[in-house]
Amino acid sequence: MSDQQSIVVIGAALAGASAARALRDEGFAGEIRMLGAETHRPYIRPPLSKGFLAGADELDSVFVEAEGWYASHDVTLSLGETVDAIDPEAQFVFLASGEALMYDKLLLTTGASPRALDVPGADLTGVFALRTLDDSQGLREALGGSAAGGEVSAGGGDAAGDSDGASPGADTASGGVARVRRVVVIGSGWIGMEVAATARTLGNEVTVLSRGEIPLASVLGDEVGRVFLELHQEHGVVVRTGVEVAEVLGGGAEGGAGSASAGASAGDCGSAAGVEGAAQGGLAGGEGGVTGVRLTSGEVVPADVVVVGLGALPNIQLAEAAGLEIENGIVVNAALRTSDPNIWAAGDVANAYHPVLKQRLRSEHWANALNQGPAAAKSMLGKTVSYDEIPYFYSDQFDLGMEYSGYAPLTHDATVVFRGDVAAREFIAFWVHGGRVVAGMNVNVWDVNDAVQGIIRRANVVDLARLADPAVPLDQI
């Protein structure tokens, strides 16, 4: 690829930023322009529901690159930009500002947006989704975590710190008594359960409202999901299962949304030109603030803060309007190229065929964005690429840490094999389908992830008794 050519990246998040770094590392000297709807330089999302939300991580720790990296590597970072359309035939990207950008190669890393809560009151002050840095900043303050060094600035600014020197969870009322919020989490997926754990750790009263009977059962199955249910119950989280939300109640006039993405999609570079700051939401309890959640049974669950965690939808609007093939995201091949020969996609939005797992999948986890960005970059430069990284993510909830590798859709009716002590929450769970391990999750057992991924990659038919036996080394499975 000629160094005189231009690469445009739509979406200024981890996948796009990692692609830009890889392009420069591979020696590409042409123009790189990255477009992002948000006003922050690219950042990683896992801390938004974990350490940053709890007030333990500093602001600077969430950014992919140091503030000056993009300028020093001649990457033009255009933030607060909305893309209106792509013309694949003419190879132009059209911005809402009226600017038209020509590209030789285009990379779509448009990410995903949270599913909206479609009930009355979903736009009240104190209702939060959690997708963006602004979302996490606003929710962090609402939960009583420390303020992240005041306003979150576009360039990252100063390192985060407690503005008043208080420790996380130590927000006090005027009488000097620690304020306990009543936090209701709607949804029992990964984001919902992580937020519940963080909110409870900060000293709040927490209730999780789950449509299913067991949290995380839709991704882990009942047996493993029950481990997380019992974990939360033991730490004082009230988990209400088999319930539906009818309405969010407020104590005054209806206010603005608690976060930019609580009631509408924001995305990496979708239809919203950036996102509103935490000042739009503030704490609940003021005019228009949330006071509770009404269930379809008529019961009201009191709440000062409501967090919506109902999953996410891929931001396919631009790609679909451009005529690219769409199926649960943007369809790409193993080289991450779309149905248009000059357009690639990576990260949350990309539905790629996986040569090891022998199926198409779209992963919304950070490791996928981290690894697919560079793979797409190499592919755009004409290098042979067959993306085969094993999907991976991790979660920290209370005293439970886990790593999950592979992909085991419950439609496969996989057998779950345990190695270790499930009751003590120190074990490895393996999902076996067709005699082969397709996924594994190590819980409070460390330095085994590479071995677990090796079992998945080898795709051998396994002996279930040996798989469950801690005396058998994992590399001999």
The pLDDT value recorded for residue 58 is: 93
Q: How confident is the model at residue 176 (pLDDT cuts 50, 70, 90)?
A: very low
**Within a domain: residue 386?**
no
The pLDDT value recorded for residue 165 is: 33
Q: How confident is the model at residue 4 (pLDDT cuts 50, 70, 90)?
A: confident
Do 268 and 140 reside in the same domain of the chain? yes
Q: Which two tokens stand for residue 405?
A: 């590798």
Specify whether the CB–CB gap between 196 and 210 falls below 8 A: no
The pLDDT value recorded for residue 424 is: 98
Do 284 and 357 reside in the same domain of the chain? no
Per residue in 295-310, pLDDT (tens digit) is 999 999 999 999 999 9
Do 205 and 225 reside in the same domain of the chain? yes
Q: How confident is the model at residue 288 (pLDDT cuts 50, 70, 90)?
A: low
The pLDDT value recorded for residue 146 is: 58
The pLDDT value recorded for residue 80 is: 98
The pLDDT value recorded for residue 154 is: 32
Per residue in 402-417, pLDDT (tens digit) is 999 999 987 668 899 9
Q: How far is CA 173 from CA 176, 178, 205, in A?
A: 5, 6, 16
Q: What's the whole-number mean pLDDT along residues 387-396?
A: 97
The pLDDT value recorded for residue 269 is: 40
Q: Is the pLDDT of residue 177 over 90?
A: no
* Cα(158)–Cα(35) distance, integer angstroms: 24
- For residues 163-199, one letter each, b for 16 or more C-beta atoms within 10 angstroms of the residue's C-beta and e for the rest, the string is eeebebbbbeeeeeeebebbbbbbbbbbbbbbbbbbb
Q: How far is CA 257 from CA 147, 370, 384, in A?
A: 20, 31, 46
Which of 152-166, 280-294, 307-321, 450-464 has the least mean pLDDT?
A: 152-166
Q: How confident is the model at residue 185 (pLDDT cuts 50, 70, 90)?
A: very high
The pLDDT value recorded for residue 1 is: 59
Q: Is the pLDDT of residue 168 over 60?
A: no
Q: How confident is the model at residue 149 (pLDDT cuts 50, 70, 90)?
A: very low
Q: Which domain, by its residues, includes 358?
A: 6-38+80-111+315-380
Domain of residue 215, CATH code:
3.50.50.60
Which of 102-111, 140-149, 405-414 has the least mean pLDDT?
A: 140-149
- For residues 281-305, one letter each, b for 16 or more C-beta atoms within 10 angstroms of the residue's C-beta and e for the rest, the string is bbbbbeebbbbbbbbeeeeebebbb
Q: How confident is the model at residue 252 (pLDDT cuts 50, 70, 90)?
A: low
Do 329 and 296 reside in the same domain of the chain? no
Q: What's the whole-number mean pLDDT along residues 179-190?
A: 94
Of 275 and 448, the structure prediction assigns the larger pLDDT to: 448
Biggest CA pair distance of the chain: 67
Per residue in 192-239, pLDDT (tens digit) is 999 999 999 999 999 999 999 999 999 999 999 999 999 999 999 999
**Within a domain: residue 434?**
yes
Q: Is the pLDDT of residue 39 over 60?
A: yes
Do 354 and 267 reside in the same domain of the chain? no
Q: Is the pLDDT of residue 263 over 60?
A: no
Q: Is the pLDDT of residue 383 over 50?
A: yes
Q: How confident is the model at residue 251 (pLDDT cuts 50, 70, 90)?
A: confident
Q: What's the whole-number mean pLDDT along residues 360-379?
A: 97
Q: Which two tokens stand for residue 317?
A: 């609007």
Q: Is the pLDDT of residue 283 over 90?
A: no
Q: How many domains does the chain have?
A: 3
Q: Which of 267, 295, 311 is the last residue of a domain?
A: 311
**Rounded (10°) CA dihedral 225, 128, 241, 397:** 30
Contacts of 416 (CB under 8 A, 6+ apart): 221, 223, 224, 429, 430, 431, 432
User: Chain-wide mean pLDDT for the chain?
Assistant: 88
The pLDDT value recorded for residue 413 is: 81
Other beta carbons within 10 angstroms of residue 263's beta carbon come to 19
Do 99 and 137 reside in the same domain of the chain? no
**Within a domain: residue 57?**
no
Domain of residue 466, CATH code:
3.30.390.30
Pair type for strands 300-302 and 290-295:
antiparallel
Of 27 and 163, the structure prediction assigns the larger pLDDT to: 27
Do 245 and 340 reside in the same domain of the chain? no
Q: What's the whole-number mean pLDDT along residues 108-131?
A: 97
- At 26, phi and psi to the nearest 5? -85, 0
Q: Which of 311, 339, 372 is the last residue of a domain?
A: 311
**Within a domain: residue 51?**
no
Token pair 């009543």 in the structure block, residue: 182
